[in-house]
Amino acid sequence: MIVVLSKDISEHDTKLVRAFLEDNGYKAREQTFGDDTLLSASGKGQLDTRELQLLPGVVRVAATSKPYELASRETQAEDSIVTVGPVKVGGARITVIAGPCAVESREQIAETAARVRESGAVILRGGAFKPRTSPYAFQGLGMKGLEYMKEAGEALGMPIVTEVVSPELALQMKDLTDMFQIGARNMQNFELLKRVGSLGRPVLLKRGASATIEEWLLSAEYLLASGARDVILCERGIRTFETFTRNTLDISAIPVVKGLSHLPVIVDPSHALGIRAYVNAASLAAVAVGADGLAVEVHTNPDAAFSDGPQSLYPDQFEKLMRDVEALAPVAGKELQRLPSPKSLAASDGTAFSGAWTAAFSLVGEKVAFSGRSGAFAERALINIFGEETQRLPVPSFSSVFDAVLDGSAAFGVVPVENSLTGSIHENYDLFLRYPDIVIVGELKLRIVHCLMAIEGTTLSEIKTIRSHAQGFAQCRNFLDEHTEWYLETHPTTADAVLSIAKEKSRTIAAIASEAAAKAHGLNILKAGIENNPQNYTRFVVISRKQDGKQLVPAALGAQKPNKASLVFSVADKPGSLLLSLQCLSGEGINMTKLESRPILGQPWNYLFYVDFTIPEDEGLLQKALEDLKKEAVTMQVLGVYRAAV
């Protein structure tokens, strides 16, 4: 049973509640989850929960049917997000942990850390103490190895995770590791679990080779009951009759556990398969079924590794895996998490591209603006980029997003610019001309799944009016054509349409919007996936205000060198002027990915040309191309330099 206490409960009343539970045969443990303080009551006692509910300071009482009370979704319905240094595990982002099986030397861990960091890993893994089946196998460098790994992680701005093998070592290791790992062999070493749980560090708990899902969650319960607040579950394969692979990856455990528990779940494909050739495929499968991250073994020279060489990826293989995960993430409704650059980056005004391109900008205390209300697709894009913890500023229109960024109400904004089914969102392209101090600093591709929703009890036959944004109607045209009797009513955003129905509570009105919008406003989904084509993606861009002529990028987006730029230009009214302008790019071997014309307001039959292009490795070629284009075009404006969505 879980007792949720008031935020302002006195110490005296807390003691009264605890005493009441203990007098009735329960053992009470105090825990904090988010903003809530809980008493977890376990035991074989009996009491009338209504009496408990009447005690001063008690907000609610929840009876749980699971033996793992604190880890259960019955205790906490929302997903937990675990903080490990600057990294958030869980929620809308996929976290990748990488590094060697064992720390072998100072040089080895430093080199491997640099390679995985460059490819996109955000947490460094490595074993300083290695429990091995054979007593003659390499057992690790001990505390010296942990010092080497901590040094490598700090140099690159990466938190580290390492295995703890005994309660005695846990206290010694506490100040050198950012997260403890409980290995598969120790999943049911309860004294170790209790000691590690009491130390307050995040914990990565691997599933035992023969453990059931319930046993795994009960081990997590030991950690939580002992005081741990941040626990990550790691599926690493179980022992079956199959011998071709090292273990059998229980891919089904991921959605099952995420349904039972609020704790984040990641997958270790290296230990699951034991063969590097299959690690990439298993990793993508894990992402597809909803894993919150991966823990992958990488070694610069696997053939000479002291342990687990056959399952360790070469750095080049890991780089390809990261690209594949980044491409798959939008299908799973997530975004690959990145760390800011470890170096202090200089800002760029968008016309010079000399190496460093951004000024890393902390979002602490700052807001990000989006158009719509809770549940809007733009909000989901915002969360995927910046994380659930970011302060959000909902505004009524796209132009309001630009206004909020320009006047400083928000540090950044998120707006859609293109849909894979309906094309460009011209209103936002035009806004860049009205706001020349606003630039694009990031990009995200979000899969759009539209749902038909209404108040509880509504049937299709009762509906007379459908509300949504114009883009929502366009993207669901095939479905709507089957119901010509419905009247279509356009709203500023899909989320606004949902909110209006929630307020009016009419069973004759339905909305087209996201599943998140239905959940946020208490509507029932009548039909999901009504978009014309499942390959329905919207390209969102992050915008910021130029300061002193420089573009600033949030730290979360500054991890990688930009590979894309956007600009707009106009040409003279003479034969071949557009061709000559585009030859400024093609002549330097620059690949143009988009070209679109838009009428110039107030100048009938005159046009602006919007261009997206990839940034070449040789930035000198790009610099020359832009200088030539500036001479050839009548006007030219760089809209932004950023990292493109895959």
The active-site residue, picked from 20, 458, 538, 613, is 538
CA distances to 286, 305, 563 from 316, in Å:
21, 16, 19
The active-site residue, picked from 180, 318, 540, 569, is 540
How many CB atoms sit inside 10 A of residue 425's CB? Answer: 20
* Alpha carbons 140 and 80: distance in angstroms, whole number: 33
Beta strands, E only, 546-617? 553-554, 564-570, 592-600, 603-614
Contact 338, 351 (CB under 8 A): no
* Alpha carbons 356 and 625: distance in angstroms, whole number: 19
Q: Is 538 a catalytic residue?
A: yes
Give the ranges where 461-534 is alpha helix by DSSP (H).
470-475, 477-481, 494-504, 515-521
Closest CA to 429 of 558, 274, 600: 600
Closest CA to 443 of 199, 193, 612: 612
Contact 568, 436 (CB under 8 A): no
* Alpha carbons 363 and 182: distance in angstroms, whole number: 33
Contact 405, 640 (CB under 8 A): no
* Alpha carbons 546 and 554: distance in angstroms, whole number: 13
Provide CB contacts within 8 A for 55, sequence distance 6+.
13, 16, 17, 20
Q: Is 540 a catalytic residue?
A: yes
Contact 538, 419 (CB under 8 A): yes
Provide the annotated active-site residues. 538, 540
